[in-house]
Amino acid sequence: YMWILHFIYHLAPNGKAGFVMANGALSAGGVEGKIRQRLIEKDLIYAIVAAPQKLFYNVSLPVSLWFARKKKPEHMKGKVLFINAKNLYKQVSRRQNVMTDEHIHKIVEKFRLFEEGRLDEIDEIGFAKVATIEEIAKNNYVLTPGRYVGVKLEFDDPRTFEEKMKEYSEELTKLLKEEEELRAKVREVFEALGYKLLGE
């Protein structure tokens, strides 16, 4: 954290800086936690993005992107943009994931809305949220995006409970019938060889 403070100190009055940090830095306690608290209370952090794993070929540790600015515009003061982009990736190999242009655009769009002060258009459950310093303080200055953006529950299945149970029942009946047919065929083979199935 000290080098973050060092970089911010040397920024121009309206300067910005971005940092790649191990995810442990989002919630570490002790001295690191105190420095993180200071960064928030001084209103120097304006965005945190949780990145997908395996973005860097030789580093498998999950990382986050921290964005700082020395002086926030009025509509950003006391606020931090949180983005959970952990699931925005395309796997190109067992050891590496990449973010497509579409993924990057989705993140950039939230930053654009934040820059333009269109805060009421940013919040998206499971992905993005603008939190106040007061909210962050209540969370002990932990900056894990998932804590603020929440979890998106998927309810894409339009079927009623009764419809689903009927379908499951029909599928189970079909499977049991297939099992009995298969068992009969196996029995025939065993009997042809002079054996009996155990339990019969």
pLDDT of residue 174: 84
> What integer best gives the mean pLDDT of the chain?
87
Checking if the pLDDT of 197 tops 60, the result is no
CA atoms of 191 and 189, how far apart (whole Å): 6
52-68 pLDDT tens trace: 988 877 767 788 999 99
**For residues 106-124, average pLDDT:** 96
**Same domain membership, residue 187 and residue 126:** no
Q: What number is the average pLDDT over the span 125-135?
A: 96
CA distance 75 to 99: 30
Do 169 and 194 reside in the same domain of the chain?
A: yes
Domain that holds residue 196: 157-200
pLDDT of residue 158: 64
Clarify whether residues 6 and 69 are in a common domain: yes
pLDDT exceeds cutoff 90 at 107:
yes
In this prediction, residue 10 has a pLDDT band, given cuts at 50, 70 and 90, of confident
Q: What is the model's pLDDT at position 131? A: 97
Helix ranges, 100-160 (H):
101-115, 133-138, 145-149
Do residues 55 and 78 both lie within one domain?
Answer: yes
CATH of the domain at 47: 3.40.50.150
Q: What is the pLDDT of residue 108?
A: 96
* H helix intervals, the chain: 2-9, 30-41, 101-115, 133-138, 145-149, 161-192
Q: Are residues 132 and 183 in the same domain?
A: no
Q: Looking at the structure, do residues 49 and 13 belong to the same domain, yes or no?
A: yes
User: From the CA atom positions of the chain, what is the Rg in Å?
Assistant: 27
Domains contained in the chain, number: 2
Calpha distance 97→103 (Å, rounded): 12
| Segments of 3-153 assigned E as strands | 16-22, 45-50, 63-69, 79-84, 90-93, 96-98, 128-132
pLDDT at 42 (0 to 100): 94
